[in-house]
Chain A
Amino acid sequence: MELYEKILVEDEFLETDHGQIACVDCHGGNPDDSNWETAHKGIIKDPTFPDASKACGDCHEEIVKLGKSSLHVTLLPYRIIMDRRATPEESVKKALDMAMGNHCMGCHSSCGQCHVSRPHSVGGGFVKGHNFMKTPPMATNCTSCHGSRLEKEFTGKNPGIPGDVHFVKKNMQCVSCHTGSEMHGDGKEYQSMHDVANGPKCVDCHQDAAKATSKKKVHGLHYETVSCTVCHSLQYKNCYGCHVGKDGKGLPYYHNEKAIMDFKIGLNPTITKERPYKFITVRHVPTNPGLFDYYVKGGLKNFDRVPTWKPATPHNIQLKTPQNKSCKKCHKRKELFLTEDDVGAEEREANRSVIVPKSEIPTKTKKR
């Protein structure tokens, strides 16, 4: 996208309700100055971040109030995980704050970066000439950030692996499951996206699927034992060995050593009423003990406190998958389960809660 396209306002926008508001009211600057450089002094590129109260709050008070706790805005789980892994020293904390500021915390969103422009972390730019979109488009907004893993899974861009049946057959978009109320938040500061109360659940639509008395016998047998994705997802991307730093020009970079398509069933490290499953799909996330070595050597001395294989909801759901063709396609199939052999010695302790002991790999089918 060319720079001029990013800032070109469509005439149509000026006819809308939002187009009646003077530019300066939200963005600042000096409209009386005929010199474009000085006229843009102090301009606010995104008046909705970090606080949307002034720009949006007068009309959308409730959403703005709740939105302050949205994980898309706060990125709180990143902060919590890094705090748990960090060496508890003030100097280390400062260095890690700087590292996260340079490499992680820019990947947030805001009212404007969903409803007006593309997120800044992917280059920004108006999606539709500054028109406000009630529903953010999947291609320009959701998947511009959630692109390398979820988009490719969902739309079938991983070679040899079909896209999600919800997209391919039903043309469902992200917002079909992830509603506005989930995105905007409900005012609670969740520590993980899996805790979000109004997040999507398969049973919202497939109500009979997760019942002990399900019409499908196999659903009744596996009820509350395995998550839906264990049976209904395909291979997904796992990233390893991310390192960050700055190049000779002082610009931040990251190197991700490898990305591998794999499918692994692990133990559920946090069994809750909403997620009672013993087995879930797990994905390796792009982290490692030396992630921030450029900023501070040995800054993550407590790295082992958090697994590097995280609960995952692969977005390539199918009715029929290689592992659900028959009982034998999953039971006794050691290669489907995350065992010690799959985890390097340096990460074994971190993943103790998700590694499946060989004795726990289902062998016989049990009748309930």
Chain B
Amino acid sequence: MLWPKHRDSWYLWIMFLVFFGYFLLWGTVSTVQTEEKSSCVSCHTNSRELIKLSQIILKMRPPAKSEEIKGEG
């Protein structure tokens, strides 16, 4: 039987619904944040990781500007 018969059971039942709802909602947001953290943000907030990667990138990347640039624009 889904519906409680006693007063104390009613109380427990409401508390269960409140907590269930809260975890359902919080859990969903938490999952989104975890996914985000595990991908772009987890790397882009990690300076140690970025230093390591930027050293690799700098070796791969050609210079963007000529060294012959002279004067002031």
Contacts and interface: CB of A to CB of B under 8 A. Distances in A.
Nearest to B32: A22
A247 B68 contact: yes
B8 interface: no
A149 B50 CA distance: 35
Contacts of B31: none
A11 interface: yes
Interface string B53-73: 110011000111111111111
Interface string A1-25: 0111001111100100000001110
Interface string A255-288: 1111100000000000000000000000000100
Contacts of A286: 71, 73
Measured as residues with beta carbon below 8 angstroms from the partner, the interface class of chain B is: 20 to 34
Contacts of B69: 253-254
Given A148-B72, A254-B71, A255-B71, A8 B47 contact: yes
B60 to A, nearest CB: 9
A24 B72 contact: no
B54 A2 contact: yes
Contact of B66 (A39, A242, A249): A249
Nearest to A129: B45
A187 to B, nearest CB: 29
A286 B66 CA distance: 19
A31 B66 contact: no
B43 interface: yes
A323 to B, nearest CB: 25
B39 A254 contact: no
B40 A247 contact: no
Contacts of A252: 65-66
A11 B44 CA distance: 10
Contacts of B70: 253-256
Contacts of B73: 148, 239, 242, 254, 256, 286
Nearest to B43: A36
A358 interface: no
Nearest to A107: B73
Nearest to A14: B41
A256 B70 CA distance: 6
A3 B58 contact: yes
Contacts of B39: 23, 31-32, 39
Contacts of A31: 35-36, 39-40
Contact of A4 (B50, B67, B71, B72): B50
A246 B66 contact: yes
9 contacts: A2-B51, A31-B40, A36-B43, A239-B71, A247-B67, A249-B63, A252-B65, A252-B66, A254-B71
Given A4-B51, A247-B66, 20 more contacts: A3-B54, A3-B57, A4-B50, A8-B50, A9-B45, A14-B41, A23-B39, A149-B72, A246-B66, A249-B66, A251-B65, A252-B66, A253-B70, A254-B69, A254-B70, A254-B71, A254-B73, A255-B71, A256-B72, A259-B72
Interface of A: 2-4, 7-11, 14, 22-24, 27, 29, 31-32, 36, 39, 130, 148-149, 237, 239, 242, 246-247, 249, 251-259, 286
Interface of B: 35-36, 39-41, 43-45, 47, 50-51, 53-54, 57-58, 62-73
Which 6 residue pairs across A and B have the least CB separation, nearest first? Answer: A256-B71, A31-B39, A253-B66, A251-B66, A148-B72, A4-B50
